[in-house]
Amino acid sequence: MTFNDLNLIEPILRALSEEGYTTPTPIQQQAIPQVLEGHDLLGVAQTGTGKTAAFSVPILQILHQTSQTQKAAQGPKGRIRCLVLTPTRELAIQIGESFKAYGRHLPQLRSTVIFGGVGQNPQVQALQRGIEILVATPGRLLDLMNQGYVNLQHVEVFVLDEADRMLDMGFINDIKRILPKLPTGRQSLFFSATMPNVIKELSATILRPNPVQVAVTPVSSTADTVTQSVFLVDKNDKPALLRHVLKDPAIKRVLVFTRTKHGANKVTETLEKAQITAEAIHGNKSQNHRQRALSNFKAGTTRVLVATDIAARGIDVDELTHVINYEVPNEPETYVHRIGRTGRAGAFGTAFTFVEEEERAYLQDIQKLIRKQLDVDKEHPYTTNSVAPVSLTGNERIIRPKGPAGRPPRDGRGGSGQGRGGAPRAAGAGSGNGRGEHRSSGRPQAGSSERAGGGRSSSAAGGGQRSSRPFQAGRSGEGGRRPQ
């Protein structure tokens, strides 16, 4: 199956092609047609399954087609027609980038991202200019709603993403305060990596009866053709370690991963100063720059390509011998996707992972996911005793890093039982101006989360048209062969 088989409109197909996507992932094959038909959706899917494109692509098409109708044209311009709630700023930013990438040929569908921990003024200005798609974390959304900057009465499609992590981080009561502000006639999409009873109960208050259910399992194994090793290193020694590793002439072409755009730029600058040809690709780079950098990398003109995970999803390079995780991903499935870019088609590949003290929790998650103890390479000049190895079979409770990179462990994973900020989950602060997004699970509940019964009919007319509502959309973004 290709994306051409999913009844997507030409502007979206063109954007997907430009991002390098050809084949939809299993969840995209299951979800996109159902969302386009207007059904509510209950999805059990983790990071790395292509979940983001599974909802962003059809939403863009729904909104685009709705805007073509006379009814939509009579409504106020710049109203919020789609709301996506997500637990973390990193995920919110990634989803926002996805909408922009997949919707680049649908300029009338504007989007913005709002989250706590930063000043609100730029976010307020974007809202005041008018947007159709809002991606938000619950705390900052509530703050701006209370200040009168956000009106949700025109929302046609509502997405709740990573519901189990919302629960872990104490956001459930915030969500219950937001729900009554949404129209009862909306279409709702609900995603969670796990489905405990409390999450099932929450989904029943958001979705209409008998939603379409889709479930996929994430990739959790690495190819035997990839040799994996860990380098324990102090944070300040990472640049020198990278230069040392790249002294090996056998490493002719290497993909280096960072978690952030800023990190990608810094690594590139470090390598260029050492006379090592390197280019960075990430969301702040233009499409032309990204294509040129990738072409140079494939041609061998550039030896090192430094990428963030979103930008790297469009990379498909034959004979890529090495992948280096300069920064350990905070989602273990991302590790599997990163190193899966080498050792393809029977060829052998090598994956190095630089682990500093604050990344040991991420290494623990990775080893549990792939069920493998990664070898530690001590034969380098920057090895350190200040970063302890992580045992696959041990029961060490590793404190997770403070700040936006941290996250609570999912069910069955190790960790300290702490939230993203390193504080106990039940004691998070609110997300007022300049504060983080971790909310208290004990905050008073305002308003009912129950939806009015029989709010609308979900029947669809023939040919993929919905008779119950004129909504249909178009736009989204992430980079790679199979959008995520």
Same domain, 186 and 248: no
Does the structure show a pLDDT above 60 at 457?
no
Strand, helix or coil at 293? helix
Positive or negative torsion for Cα 97, 99, 104, 108: negative
Q: At 223, which amino acid appears? A: A
Q: What are phi and psi of 160, to 5 degrees?
A: -110, 115
Report if residue 57 sits inside a domain: yes
Residue 190 pLDDT greater than 50, yes or no: yes
Q: Are residues 138 and 164 in the same domain?
A: yes
pLDDT tens digit string along 120-137? Answer: 999 999 999 999 999 999
Same domain as 307, residue 199: no
> What pLDDT was estimated at residue 469?
35
Domain presence at residue 272:
yes
What is the rounded average pLDDT for all residues in the chain? Answer: 82
Helix (H) or strand (E) holding 278: strand 278-281
The last residue of one of the domains, among 376, 401, 429, is 376
- In this structure, how many other beta carbons lie within 10 angstroms of the beta carbon of residue 388? 13
Q: Do 160 and 235 fall into the same domain? A: no
Q: Which domain holds residue 79?
A: 3-208+446-473
Q: Return the percentage of the chain with pLDDT > 90, whole number.
A: 58
Tell me: do 9 and 148 sit in the same domain.
yes
Q: What is the pLDDT, as a whole number, of residue 341?
A: 87
**Alpha carbon distance 324, 249 (integer Å):** 15
Give the CATH number for residue 203: 3.40.50.300
What is the secondary structure of 61-101 as a DSSP string? HHHHHHHTSHHHHHSPTT---EEEE-S-HHHHHHHHHHHHH
**Predicted model pTM:** 0.60
For 332, the 3-state DSSP assignment is helix
- Residue 283 included in any domain: yes
User: What pLDDT, in 10s, does the model give residues 425-438?
Assistant: 333 333 343 334 54
At 196 the pLDDT is 83
pLDDT value of position 20: 82
Do 198 and 325 reside in the same domain of the chain? no
The length of the chain, given as a count of residues: 484
Tell me what pLDDT residue 470 has: 32
Q: Which of 353, 376, 399 is the last residue before a domain boundary?
A: 376
Task: Identify the residue with better confidence: 168 or 457.
Answer: 168
Residues 82 and 144 in one domain: yes
Q: Which comes out higher in pLDDT, residue 197 or 114?
A: 114
CB of 484 closer than 8 Å to CB of 50: yes
In a domain, 466, yes or no: yes
Task: Provide mean pLDDT across the span 348-370.
Answer: 94
DSSP of 338-364? HHTTSS-TT--EEEEEEE-GGGHHHHH
Q: Which of 344, 360, 376 is the last residue of a domain?
A: 376
Is the pLDDT score of 255 beyond 80?
yes
Task: Mark whether 123 and 234 lie in a shared domain.
Answer: no
Q: How many domains, the chain? A: 2
Dihedral (CA of 157, 138, 90, 113) sign: positive
Residue 484 has pLDDT above 60, yes or no: no
Q: Measure the CA–CA gap between 359 and 28, rounded to whole angstroms.
A: 31
Is the domain of 19 the same as that of 153? yes
Q: What is the pLDDT of residues 262-307, one digit of tens each?
A: 999 999 999 999 999 999 998 788 768 887 998 899 899 999 999 9
Same domain, 345 and 290: yes
Instruction: Assess whether 195 and 233 both reside in one domain.
Output: no
Q: Tell me, yes or no, whether 116 lies in a domain.
A: yes
